[in-house]
Amino acid sequence: MFDSIIIGAGVAGCVAARELAEAGRKVLVLEQREHIGGNCYDEPDKHGILIHKYGPHIFHTKEQKAYDYLSRFTDWYAFGHEVVANVHGTLIPVPFNLNTLHMVYDQEKADALEKKLVEAFGMETRVPILKLREHEDEEIRQIADYVYENIFLHYTMKQWGQTPEDIDPAVTGRVPVLISYDNRYFQEPYQGMPLDGYTRMFEKMLNHPNITVETGVDARTRLTFETEQVLLDGESFKGEVVYTGPLDELFGCCFGRLPYRSLRFDFEYMPQDDFQGHSVVNYTVSEEFTRITEFKYLTGQKAAGTTIVREYPFAYTGADGEIPYYAIANDENHELYGKYRTLVEKIPNVYLLGRLAEYKYYNIDAMVMKALELTDKIK
């Protein structure tokens, strides 16, 4: 009955399914959760406020191809994402920019520092703090120290469960300072939110006569992966299988579990018009949670009251209800991932696609581009 099977109905799976369906293939999509959309899934809460069940997702890209592709299935709410950090009770824009500079220092010093930064790096530039830390001017180096201590260090320790000694210096070095008055978190030309939500966008994407979607189905109950073949319901399946789930779990974690960071989301509704005045506030030096999202500011919706969510990072264990979010990139973990990938390479026509299957992080636009690239290769 089917020419291709897609395991997982997140961004990667939905794009791959649509592309293969439009190429004439009969596609079966198997999704373990009870809904499509993966971690981008959104739904109205009981108060009618559209929430992102698995944390905020903002689309942003410089790739017109990715923007145009998704625009086939949605109109957009124009949204320039602005994030502030709560630093000892003061809300400052992040990434650190010239507006932040003038909030942190008095006017005379801020003016002098701004002049130094512009002369050294130019306006509208994005400078890693590693560059600032290596600069010959002591005051410019002090800016880098401020960003490291107040915006990066404690937030990263919470997010990744690491001590300062464990944090990779290469990661530290990429933390940017923007020589700009642009408070937007992203500077790409295409930014926004699907006007009717991510779920509706993915519903339209999967609405094709060649696509069959089954939710609430663990693919491992339908598919068997053997050394040189795949079985669907006990019968040999010769078509393509695109797998987007955790690679270790596909093989029963036979070499050990791949480490991830997970998140707990605590939602709260309040019968008031506003809670924090911003879509996202990062808590970089205090609190156990990393950030609070207020959804009305994220989506532009009008509703009575407001709903927020606090995010608490923790180590993924594979327990029921836990979701693997962020792969922990280091040599040891990549070596372990390589063992699982070797098992897949022995099975014909099985393709790995997405954050979990490839054990790496992708933004939405990059995931769209990766799915288009893979399906072009398959077609």
Position 29 confidence tier, pLDDT thresholds 50, 70, 90: very high
Among residues 11, 55, 51, 63, the alpha carbon closest in space to that of 323 is found at 55
Q: What is the pLDDT of residues 46-73, one digit of tens each?
A: 999 999 999 999 999 999 999 999 999 9
Q: How buried is 336 (Cβ within 10 angstroms: 0-12 exposed, 13-18 middle, 19+ buried)? A: middle
**How confident is the model at residue 358, as a pLDDT?**
97
Q: What is the pLDDT of residues 83-102, one digit of tens each?
A: 999 999 999 999 999 999 99
* CA Rg value for the chain: 23
- Average pLDDT, integer, range 289-316: 96
**How confident is the model at residue 133, as a pLDDT?**
87
Position 129 confidence tier, pLDDT thresholds 50, 70, 90: confident
Q: Is the pLDDT of residue 169 over 80?
A: no
Q: Is the pLDDT of residue 185 over 70?
A: yes
Best CATH choice for the domain 4-81+195-258+327-378 from the list 3.40.50.720, 3.10.20.600, 3.40.50.300, 3.40.50.2300: 3.40.50.720
Largest CA distance in the chain: 76
The 3-class SS string of the chain reads CCCEEEECCCHHHHHHHHHHHHCCCCEEEEECCCCCCHHHCEEECCCCCEEECCCCCCEEECCHHHHHHHHCCCCEEECCCEEEEEECCEEEEECECHHHHHHHCCHHHHHHHHHHHHHHHCCCEEEEHHHHHCCCCHHHHHHHHHHHHHHHHHHHHHHHCCCCCCCCHHHHHHCEEEECCCCECCCCCEEEEECCCHHHHHHHHHCCCCEEEEECCCHHHCEEEECCEEEECCEEECCEEEECCCHHHHCCCCCCCCCEEEEEEEEEEECCCCCCCCCEEEECCCCCCCEEEEHHHHHCCCCCCEEEEEEEEEECCCCCCCCCCEECCCHHHHHHHHHHHHHHHCCCCEEECCHHHHCCCCCHHHHHHHHHHHHHHHC
- Average pLDDT, integer, range 298-321: 95
Whole-structure pTM value = 0.93
- Average pLDDT, integer, range 146-173: 83
What is the CB-side half-sphere exposure of residue 25 using CA atoms within 13 A?
22
Mean residue pLDDT of the chain comes to: 94
Give yes or no for a contact between 81 and 279, defined as CB atoms under 8 angstroms apart: yes
Considering the chain, what percentage of its residues have pLDDT values greater than 70? 98
Considering the chain, what percentage of its residues have pLDDT values greater than 90? 88
Each domain of the chain, given as residue ranges in start order, spans 4-81+195-258+327-378, 83-178
**How confident is the model at residue 173, as a pLDDT?**
67
Q: Is the pLDDT of residue 165 over 80?
A: no
Q: What is the pLDDT of residues 232-247, one digit of tens each?
A: 999 999 999 999 999 9
**How confident is the model at residue 170, as a pLDDT?**
65
Q: Is the pLDDT of residue 164 over 90?
A: no
**How confident is the model at residue 163, as a pLDDT?**
80
- Average pLDDT, integer, range 317-331: 93
**How confident is the model at residue 211, as a pLDDT?**
98
Structure tokens at 272: 């008031």
- Average pLDDT, integer, range 112-130: 93
- Average pLDDT, integer, range 6-26: 98
**How confident is the model at residue 277, as a pLDDT?**
93
**How confident is the model at residue 162, as a pLDDT?**
83
Give yes or no for a contact between 40 and 198, defined as CB atoms under 8 angstroms apart: yes
Rounded CA separation 304/312 (Å): 27
**How confident is the model at residue 257, as a pLDDT?**
97
Rounded CA separation 378/374 (Å): 6
Rounded CA separation 185/206 (Å): 31
